[in-house]
A and B are shown apart, each in its own frame.
Chain A
Amino acid sequence: MSTAAHAPASSNPSRRDWRAFFTRHEMLLLYVLIAEWLFFYFAGTSTNRRGVIVGFGTWDRQFDILRHSCEIGLLALALTPVIITAGIDLSVGSLLGLCAILFGKLWHDGGLAIPVAIGLTLGIGALAGALNAILITALRLPPLIVTLGTYSLFRGLAEAITRGSITYTDFPETFLFIGQERWLGLPTQAWVFLMVALAMGLLVHRTTFGRAFRTIGLAPEGARYAGLPVERRLALVYVLAGLIAAIAAIIYTARLGQAKADAGTGYELFAITAVVLGGTSIFGGKGTIVGTLLGVAAIAVLKNGLACLPVVMRLNAAEEMSGLLTGALLLVALTASVLPKILSNLRPRRHTATQSTPPLSP
């Protein structure tokens, strides 16, 4: 609290920037992530009977975490601009399932080469995103309702196509390489994930598109009066979401070596959780890709780390615990994000009451 005593010092602009940087939501989330990681490193690593170091503190485990979080991470990246525009896309998980089985069908029944099937699947994903986009922008329907509809529609289609029972398997080794092997030191799919993250980062933070997303999220009518092509920008984020869901579908299929209609069930909710945890406002206008990445990492480390704790292992409750703690983490993060505002609302009042000095100018 020593810095608080020197409150006037914060009028020094450079110092204020410094403090603002470290109290930003992303930094707080980074602290949480570091704390989580250290905790699991010390509590979740042990030596087994054969004298081998096992558990959280192994490279294998770290790579597994990366591997397991790629699909949900991709969906979270897709949802970040959507949510920044004050929209939502509940259909990405279902679309992942639909794209996975269509990819399997194109390859297995259609006899197409893997690269061609991948290309077509990405096209289908973008088209499905375009369906959302048309309903939302041309008909001005609320995104929540539209994507709730396509959420059922895409999953239903996937189940209808496979009649709920066909599973495509026996993919060639070269394709499984994407999901199960390492390339240049990292799991292969992590490279895809990082590239998409980089592209989305540039789009959201370094282009006029990104600025348009935030403006639309804050005030759609204002954006329209300011001459922004609101419909076209909104359409872009939903088409992108469809495309990225298709990429996630390919990676998912390669990781498991199977394409089934239930692929990605419930993933949309994990992705939304990661985005919101990452500091993106569900009301739109605010949010960063870095925040989303940290949100994904915080959830993934928590989930995988818990499974390494001897106590949790003995209780056989890794699944339940991770659900519970992810929820708690989200609620704590949301509370923490409004806490400074509440505190700063309290402080000036106390100042005026006790010292009767004029409140500090902002």
Chain B
Amino acid sequence: MKNYLLRFCVAGAVLLASLVTASAADSKLIVAMLPKSKGNAYFISCKAGADKAAKELGIQLLFDGPTDSNAAKQNEIVENWITLGVDVIAVAAENKEGISTALRKAQKQGIKVLTYDADAMADSRSFFVNQATPQGIGQTLMDEAARLVGGEGEFAMIVGSLTAANQREWQKYVEARLKEKFPKMKLVAVRPCDDLKDKAQSEATALLSANPKLKLIMAICSPGVPGAAEAVKQAGLTGKVKVMGLGLPNENKRYVHAGVTDSVILWNTGDLGYLAIYAGVALAKDELKKGAKSFKAGSLGSFAIEGDNILLGKPFIFNQGNIDQFDF
């Protein structure tokens, strides 16, 4: 009886297998895209852009990642893709060194590798699709602030902390732009909020009472924007003191619709996914090589390349008109 059982199992397996394989034959280029975690709304919005690019280019897109941000899982998924023989792997690295081992292995097997959103070690990938340079962020922040107040008046900044490297970098470029282009504007104070919304709110309240001529608050850490907005709203200064800064659309939607916050600045995540797929396919087709100075990606047009970084370019400004199209 058990012999029959074994034979039944084997026959069943083979039969089932042939059914599944029948629908498998596919000779499209396969691009595999790895997010830090696949449930994260940020990466889901990246995928929307990637899907669009995949459709335009007629390729098969695999989008898989850990359900939480798990570096070990990322490695296993990449190793799986290697044996599946995909053509391109695009990675947002959770752990720079950890993932690089797997990526080097992929390159050895002739798979083209690029990173997006978060880079891996430079020798483990061909290009990094860089979503934003500190310079681009600083300039966009300052230009938008100047536009909101008509190029003159006092403003204050709320930063995550006074020591964090990226915050200082952004602040440096904001101040450089201010000095260079907007002589009639004056930065009266820079306050840290320790990446806490509550602290941002109390700091903003203090700024408002200490500087009656304040026309705008710029927050460059993501909890800072809603924190400052809440302070302005409670002080009854909605519309009189503008709020803007770096942040995620979802946590600011309420204030944007209420007219408290005018602009939220970040990059367009959909475009990031779109560009990553276009760059990956160009790599596989040998149309994009080391040393290239620019790269054309479908309907988005041309992007500059600095060294091995493909620059997504100017940050994106979310405002009342477009913020509802984004969900992250």
Contacts and interface: CB of A to CB of B under 8 A. Distances in A.
Interface string B69-93: 0111101110110111101000000
A262 B10 CA distance: 40
B143 interface: no
Contact of A38 (B14, B66, B96): B14
A36 B2 contact: no
Contacts of A334: none
B17 A64 contact: no
A46 B24 contact: yes
B72 A263 contact: yes
B326 interface: no
A360 B24 CA distance: 54
Contacts of B82: 60
B26 A310 contact: yes
Interface of B is mostly: helix
Contact of B13 (A2, A19, A38, A64): A38
B16 A19 contact: no
B27 A258 contact: no
Nearest to A52: B85
A27 interface: yes
Interface in B1-29: 1-2, 5-6, 9-10, 12-14, 16-18, 20-21, 23-29
Given A1-B1, A39-B13, A256-B98, A304 B80 contact: yes
Contact of A43 (B2, B16, B100): B16
Contact of B101 (A46, A64, A180, A308): A180
A336 B25 CA distance: 36
Nearest to B19: A43
A322 to B, nearest CB: 11
Interface residues of B, number: 50
A319 interface: yes
Interface string B223-240: 000000000000000000
B67 A23 contact: no
Nearest to A45: B21
Contacts of B60: 314
A100 B56 CA distance: 45
A55 B84 contact: yes
Contacts of B24: 43, 46, 310-311
A318 B83 contact: no
Nearest to B16: A39
14 contacts: A3-B1, A31-B6, A32-B9, A60-B83, A64-B83, A169-B96, A176-B101, A255-B75, A258-B71, A260-B95, A308-B80, A308-B83, A316-B38, A318-B77
Closest 10 CB pairs of A and B: A54-B85, A42-B17, A43-B17, A169-B97, A39-B13, A35-B9, A310-B24, A48-B85, A258-B98, A61-B83
Interface of B: 1-2, 5-6, 9-10, 12-14, 16-18, 20-21, 23-30, 38, 60, 62-64, 66-67, 70-73, 75-77, 79-80, 82-85, 87, 95-98, 100-101, 110
